[in-house]
A and B are shown apart, each in its own frame.
Chain A
Amino acid sequence: MNRKVQPLLEEINITPLTDIFLVLLIIMMVVAPMLNFRGLPAAFNPGSAEPGVAAANVLLVEVGADREFRVNGKATESDDLLQVLRAAADEFAGGAEIVVHPDAQLAGMVFALNAVERAGFDHVSVTARQGVPLGS
């Protein structure tokens, strides 16, 4: 008696391919947030600055210890900082100087730097507030 002959399976097995792509998808989902870094160029001015005093045509942005901002000596809320800086961008051709209190958190300093950059200032420098020496 003849045994029944099974037909040949003439399709490509895509299971390994699917496995690989699923693993790739999971890895990309895990790694993607870690790669989402951007950078802000920052020029450091070694001379410490006196609070409230800036060179001619240079806008002074002060970052205080408790995330308080002052633009040319005037207290400014963080929500209004970008708007104030944009309004002043055309007036100060010499650029902007960010004076940072050393006790200020980095988030405040980066926030000010980001706002100055977005406001359209060409020359931006970061300096430490006078009277507070940096560690060495």
Chain B
Amino acid sequence: MRRATDKSVIAEINITPLTDVFLVLLVIVILVAPFMASMRKGVRPPQVLGGTTLDPQALTLEIDRDGGYFIEGRHVPRSELADTLSARVPSLPEKTLVIRGDRESQSAATLTAMDAARSAGVEQVILAGISQTEPRAPLPARTRLGGPRP
């Protein structure tokens, strides 16, 4: 008769940690995917100091280096920009447009978009930039390393 305390060896790989990791990855991908879809590769926004926090739900217009317009990853010809915005703006809870342009794009493309946004009923245009940290003020001479002692 077999003793109750004997345990048979489980010769299977424990896939529970693997499943946990993949479930977490799946949740993160689901959460991040809408944001990444609206972020076009190759658009490098200018740097800004300070500024306001961007609403992730706001309608975002991207302008690439060559002046091409993109809304939610789809290219919008310049001739159709005003009509496209006019169709989208009425359904927005806040009439705000975020323009995320490439730092090397011509300002004319941004100004044209701002003009189209105004015509489409956008109440506020926000230019997006990458947050830059405030440059630190130089330390007083007394606290510098190697500086004269008081």
The reply to whether B107 and A38 form a contact with Cβ atoms under 8 Å apart is: no
B59 within 8 A of A: no
The reply to whether B54 and A39 form a contact with Cβ atoms under 8 Å apart is: yes
Distance from B109 Cβ to chain A, minimum over Cβ atoms (Å): 8
Give which listed residue, A19, A36, A102, contacts B21 with CB less than 8 A. Answer: A19
How many residues of chain A have a CB within 8 Å of chain B?
A: 47
On chain A, the residues within 8 Å of B110 by CB distance are 106, 109
B112, closest chain A residue (CB): A134
Distance from A72 Cβ to chain B, minimum over Cβ atoms (Å): 20
Distance from B92 Cβ to chain A, minimum over Cβ atoms (Å): 16
For residues 95 through 109 of chain A, which have their beta carbon under 8 Å from a beta carbon of chain B? 100-109
The reply to whether B104 and A106 form a contact with Cβ atoms under 8 Å apart is: yes
Give which listed residue, A15, A39, A126, contacts B129 with CB less than 8 A. Answer: A39
The reply to whether A20 and B112 form a contact with Cβ atoms under 8 Å apart is: no
Task: Give the interface residue-count category, chain B.
Answer: 35 or more
Q: A31-48 toward B: CB 8 Å interface, digit per residue (1/0)?
A: 100111111111110100
A131 within 8 A of B: no
Distance from A83 Cβ to chain B, minimum over Cβ atoms (Å): 13
**CA distance in complex: A114, B46 (Å):** 11
The reply to whether A40 and B51 form a contact with Cβ atoms under 8 Å apart is: yes
On chain B, the residues within 8 Å of A46 by CB distance are 115, 118
The reply to whether B105 and A105 form a contact with Cβ atoms under 8 Å apart is: yes
On chain B, the residues within 8 Å of A16 by CB distance are 16-17, 20-21
Give which listed residue, B48, B106, B114, contacts A44 with CB less than 8 A. Answer: B114
B50 within 8 A of A: yes
A102, closest chain B residue (CB): B108
Known: A41-B126, A100-B111, A128-B111. 7 other contacts (CB 8 A): A36-B130, A38-B129, A39-B53, A103-B106, A106-B107, A110-B46, A110-B129
6 nearest A-B residue pairs (beta carbon): A102-B108, A38-B51, A44-B114, A39-B126, A107-B103, A16-B17
